[in-house]
Structure 1
Amino acid sequence: MRRWVDTPRKRVIVVALVSWLLVLTAMEFISVPYVRLSPGPLFNVLAESDGKPIISIDGAEVFPVTGQLEMTTVSERGGPYGDLTLFEAFTGWIDPSVAVVPTSLLYPPDTSGDAARQAGSDQFSDSQEQARIAALQEVGEPVETRPLILEVSPDSPAEGILEHGDVVLAAQGRAVRSPQRLARIIAAAGPSADVVLDVRRGDEDLSVTVVTVANPDDPQKGFLGVTLGIVADSPVTVDFNLDDVGGPSAGLIFSLGIVDKLTPGDLVGGRKVAGTGTMDFDGRVGPIGGIAQKLAAAHDDGVTLFLAPKDNCDEVLGATPPGLEVAAVESLSEARQALEGDLPPPPCPVG
């Protein structure tokens, strides 16, 4: 039988262990103003969700597809979505696939969970619309575009005059087809100008007048205080069936999924391909956040080729897991060529 013999060295070990356990326990209850970003789930946009195709198309011939075209995501904890504990932050800091960043870098002060989710949902919906337009134009389908009012800022000149969902048909008597064109007309009007907008609200067409103020970034330019998106009319309808995902970064993959279904041949060709990137209606691919987490998620899921925005290459070069091939693209056409295999996928430039 062994007896416990108390010595100064053993007392130090016991005190250290107890102290460490107390620290770990405390870390589980201390909240920190950070957001933890970790690899999220992948969604094959060529497959189904809840028994329905994630991308469904009517009004055009749809061709069979094979393989997996994976939309990548980032999982968030903390910030508007609830408290992040010091323990969760600590384990994120030591995990190379996780980023822990101050909440203030991602969200304005006092942003609620509901507001963050709504903003993410609006961005996701707009990314789908931009992807639809870009893809239909890529395959030569007729498309007519119009600017869409996504958000009216509180206390802005447009508050109480324009509404979320208004489709802008004309500005100052001139037809407008894109958000950029509308923004240029508003800016050129200057501050304190009457801007007449013809809008479609539901089934009603109406004319409204908004008085501009000075643009906070350039006082010589007019400003309405609205966030613009885009909507399109086409004989080809595209519907998306994917819930509980937010943000703008799925545009590239949604566009490729539509192109694959609307063109003969097999774009993905039985492979497991993933990617990320915003998409505008002209087919330009834009940078996104969380690229390191998305690369890690794709690698862990067995992806062989990853499509990334060229503007994210600085981050890609230091975060690509071994064995994952990355193609850097600036447009939908480049991404399509990278998948068709006529040329080697363009890598991120080094140096």
Structure 2
Amino acid sequence: MSKALDANNRRWSTLVWGSIPVVLLAGALTVDHIPGTDVRLTVPYAAEGPGPTFDTLGEVDGEPVVDIQGADTEDTGGHLNMTTVSVRTNMTLGQALGRWIATDDTIVPVEQILPPDLGEDEVREFNQQAFVASEASATVAAMHYLDRPTTVVVHDVVEGAASAGILHPADRITAIAGKEVSTPSEVQDAVRAKTPGESIEITVERDNEPHHETVELGENPHEAGQAMLGILMTSEPAGGVTVNYNLNDIGGPSAGMMFSLAVIDKLTPGALTGGTFVAGTGTIDDDGEVGPIGGITHKIRGAEEAGAELFLAPAGNCDAVKRVHTDHMTVAKVDNLPEAVAAMEDFAAGRDVPTC
């Protein structure tokens, strides 16, 4: 055998045998379990990236994203898009590496997405509950901004609490201690002005009929000497107005501000956006305060890709916002609903808006 042929044979042998670990590794990168077993080969990481955006002034599956009944609504214009983050879990090593190399996704420990003490179904349920709570706060914040009346609703009664058997879920609290109330905080203030063991008069609307109840107050187990009713409360618009949000597959509380702005826009003359394409994110509380959220860098990217001209970002996210470069979109910082409305008005008029 010639030296050249022997060299070629050795080279071929090296290529053939040397390729086997590569082929096996390539297979391991894409197979999510060992064939014939239940042993999974996924990595304990998740990938976060830009998710879809939804125009809160538009429709989804033929239904308004924000549907207001019991009140006259106005024509709107432009876009008010809520933004989302896409999350990928149960990835193989190859899939995780692929997203890290080929995309701008953030690779994070899966515990940041799925707490170790909760399963995927439990996390999904938790996020859905947070979304529902965010919807309620968005509605109430909009009502307060518009100076429209709200009412206090008993969401649940704690088992064994002072109110058990006296107050019931869906009761509307209209007065307490002889004073009319319209927010949960007013109920809390009236209760905390008492001491445990004292009685308090409560008027509720139940089945469209007024009921006058007396509750002997209990004591907060976490705060000695503090009186408590033992109920969970929410607020709703008064006067027969209802607001429904038709985005059932979205979870978490970060759409709150955009939902509030959509409600305000639909209940006031003119286009709140000034006809521009606005996107944004942020939690909201009943008083209209905007809170920070996770994944904002991806939401900003997703909004710009969708064509947004102005992005409303919580001021509490400014550190992360500063790390994002946008080519054709202005990112405004807001702390509350009035600031969000002002930012849209200023942008539409060509004036400067506060930024991070």
Give the structure-2-normalised TM-score: 0.76
Q: Closer, same or farther in 2 for the Cα pair 1:126/1:257, shift >3 Å?
A: same
Q: Which runs of 5+ in 1 are unaligned?
A: none
Q: Is the contact between residue 138 and residue 259 of structure 2 (CA under 8 Å) also seen in structure 1? A: yes
Other-structure match for 1:39: 50
Mapped contact 1:249–1:288 kept (Cα < 8 A): yes
Distance of aligned partners of 1:230 and 1:262 in 2 relative to their CA distance in 1, 3 Å threshold: closer
Of 90, 101, 106, the residue aligned with 1:98 is 106
After superposition, residues 71-82 of structure 1 pair within 5 angstroms as: 71-78=82-89
Partner deviation per Cα, 1:188-236 (whole Å, 9 max, x = no partner): 767x757768455665757455633422xx5665677765432231454
Secondary structure, counterpart of 2:141 in structure 1: helix
Selected match of 2:152 from 146, 150, 163: 146
**Residue 268 (structure 1) aligns with:** 273
Q: Distance in 2 between matches of 1:225 and 1:346?
A: 42
Aligned match of 1:6 = 10
Q: Does 1:344 align with 2:346?
A: no
Partner residue in 1 for 2:37:
none
RMSD between superposed Cα atoms in Å = 3.7
Q: Which range is displaced more, 299-308 or 197-206? A: 197-206
Query: Which has the higher Rg, Structure 1 or Structure 2?
Result: 2
In structure 2, relative to structure 1, the CA distance for the partners of 1:201 and 1:246 (3 Å cut) is: farther
Residue 173 to residue 59, structure 1, CA distance change in 2 (3 Å): closer
**In 1, distance between residues paired with 2:23 and 2:340?**
56
Q: Which residue of 2 aligns with 1:53?
A: 64
User: What are the residue-to-residue correspondences of 1:101-180 with 2, within 5 Å?
Assistant: 101-103=109-111, 107=115, 109-111=117-119, 113=121, 115-140=122-147, 142-146=148-152, 148-149=154-155, 157=161, 165=170, 167-169=172-174, 176-180=181-185
Q: Report the AA paired with residue 74 of structure 1.
A: V
**Which one-letter code corresponds to 2:152 in the other structure?**
R
Q: Does 1:333 align with 2:320?
A: no
AA at the equivalent of 1:42: T
Q: Cα gap change, 1:197/1:168 in structure 2, threshold over 3 Å: closer, same or farther?
A: farther
Q: Is the 8 A contact 1:168 1:197 kept in 2?
A: no
The CA deviation at 1:168 is 4.4
SS at match of 1:5: helix
Distance in 2 (CA, whole Å) between partners of 1:182 and 1:318 is 43
Shift of 1:276: 0.7
**Paired amino acid for 1:128:** E
Q: Which stretch has the larger CA shift, 305-314 or 30-39?
A: 30-39
| Cα distance in structure 2, aligned partners of 1:176 and 1:101 | 46
Aligned length: 336
Residue pair 1:168, 1:176 contacting (<8 A) in 2 also: yes
1:139 CA drift (Å): 3.3
Instruction: Output aligned runs, 1:106-255, within 5 Å.
Output: 107=115, 109-111=117-119, 113=121, 115-140=122-147, 142-146=148-152, 148-149=154-155, 157=161, 165=170, 167-169=172-174, 176-183=181-188, 198=202, 205=211, 207=213, 211-215=218-222, 221=226, 228-234=233-239, 236-255=241-260
- Partner of 1:346, secondary structure, is coil
Distance 2:233 2:107 in 1: 30
Match of 2:311 in 1: 306
Change beyond 3 A, Cα 1:22–1:125: closer
Query: What residue is the counterpart of 1:258 in the other structure?
Result: 263
AA partner of residue 103 (structure 1): E
Residue 305 (structure 1) shift: 1.1
Task: Quote the sequence identity (%).
Answer: 35
